[in-house]
Each structure stands twice: as C-alpha cells, then as structure tokens.
Amino acid sequence: MRTQMCSHSGTDPSRFLAGASIEGESPMSDLPFVSIIIPCRNEQDFIGDCLDSILANEYPKTRLEVLVVDGMSEDRTRSIAENYAQRNDFIRCIDNPKKITPAALNRGIDAARGDILMRMDVHAWYSPQYIAKCVNALDRYPADDVGGIWKIIPRTDKFAGQAIVRTLSHPFGIGNAHYRLASSSEPLWVDTVPFFCCRKEVFRTVGFFNEKLVRTQDMEHKRRLKKAGGKILLVPEIANHYYGRCESGVIKLARPLP
C-alpha cells in the first residue's frame, strides 16, 4: 500500500541558484529548510574538508542547519567541528554516546528542525550545487528518498588505492549497483542510493534506524521504506566524491551507510 509521504512545494531551488526571483517575495523564503546530519567518530583528517564543501554549497545558509553527531571522538574531530560551529551559527555539535552510526543518525533525526533531512558522509566532498540538486529532485519527482552517483576516489596514489577504486567502479566488483556505475543519464527508480535525502515524515511513517544493526542499518531501513510503498530515486546529475580507504596494510572501503 502506497504511503502518503510524497508532497511537493513546487519550488525549484535551481531557480534561486540561477538568480530568478519569485514575484512578490524573496526566492529564499519559499525554499525548504534542510537539516544535514553528519555522523562521525575520530575523523580529524576529514571533518574539515567535508564541512568546507558544505559551506561552499550555494543553498542559502538561512534555510540550512548542519548537525555534526560526534561519537565521543578521541582525536581532534570534536574540537575542529566546534570551531566551525563557533564561526557558523547554523552548525551544531551533538553527542552520540553510543558511538555507532545508527544511533548517530537517530539522534540527528530527532534533533533536526528541517522539512527535509539529508545524511552527508564525512569521508566525502560535495559540489556547490549538491544540496540544491537533492532538494530539487525531491520536489520534482514523486520520490520519498533521492540520491546520486557515488564517485569513489583513492585516498592515496598508491597502487592498492588505485586498484580498489577500479574494482569498486566496475560490475565485476559491485554487480549492478546503479549508484556506483552511473549506467544511465536519466533518473532511475532503484532499491537504494548513497546516504538519504527525504522529508522528515518518512521517519515518522517507517520509523528510525535499527540500532541493533551496526553495519547494515541503511539497507534495512530502505527495505522498510520500499515495503511501506515508498519510492527511491537515483538522479545521475547528483554526485559526491567519496574517499576509499586503505589502512594498517589491509585494503577496505569505508562505505557510506545511507
């Protein structure tokens, strides 16, 4: 049974970005308020670049809040994030004493004030129109969750890093995962997308993330969404650049959990 989750304001954020105006009012006043949730723990090498790319986004900061949900980091992650928060009043730091991703997401969702909620991963950087394109796609299409292409880039120039990127960008390594292959130039209905961008009522309808699932809470939540009649849309023009990791002599991918 289809849930009553999709609703459309009719406002295209790209109109603001193109300098268009809405007759009789500021374009900004009609844009959705967006809450960005960033789960993190011990990410001092990445949190600054991630926040810098969000700050460089062209979506109006008056219609935006950024929630850095910190899992009680033991390095400089929290101090770096707090420094950004002191200089930008739309950034807030939230404690995640459980130290796991699903708990971080749930605390962020619970604290979010936005009409639209987005998860953005600390290991990625985002183009200046990333937020606006996500919001625009959610507005234009009858989708309950939207996302884009996941472009994996190596964290170093070493052979191992290059090899894993090639493997995880080819059907041989990842099957038919559309968000990794960019196999279509048109929006595509799919089972999953990286991260999430959805209206807050999605979580009121299908519930929050299962905190018993430390590693697969993303897949389980999207299954619940689909089972409830929700629709997930992959929009190829939306893309983020995600750093694969190689550490302690073992190559692995720190994959985002949407």
> In this predicted model, what pLDDT tens digit does every residue of 214-253 receive, in sequence order?
988 999 999 999 999 999 999 999 988 866 655 444 344 4
Does 101 have pLDDT greater than 90? Answer: yes
pLDDT band at 164; cut points 50, 70, 90: low
**pLDDT-derived band at 196, boundaries 50, 70, 90:** very high
pLDDT at 69 > cutoff 50: yes
Q: What's the pLDDT score for residue 149?
A: 87
Which is more confident, 158 or 131? Answer: 131
Full strand arrangement of the beta sheet holding 196-199: 91-95, 64-70, 34-40, 116-119, 196-199
- pLDDT confidence tier of residue 151, bands split at 50, 70 and 90: confident
Q: Which pLDDT value is given to residue 245?
A: 59
Identify the residue with better confidence: 19 or 144.
144
Band of pLDDT at residue 29, cut at 50, 70 and 90: confident
Of residues 55 and 10, more confidence is placed in 55
> What is the per-residue pLDDT for 92?
98
Q: Which is the CATH superfamily of the domain at 13-252?
A: Spore Coat Polysaccharide Biosynthesis Protein SpsA; Chain A (3.90.550.10)
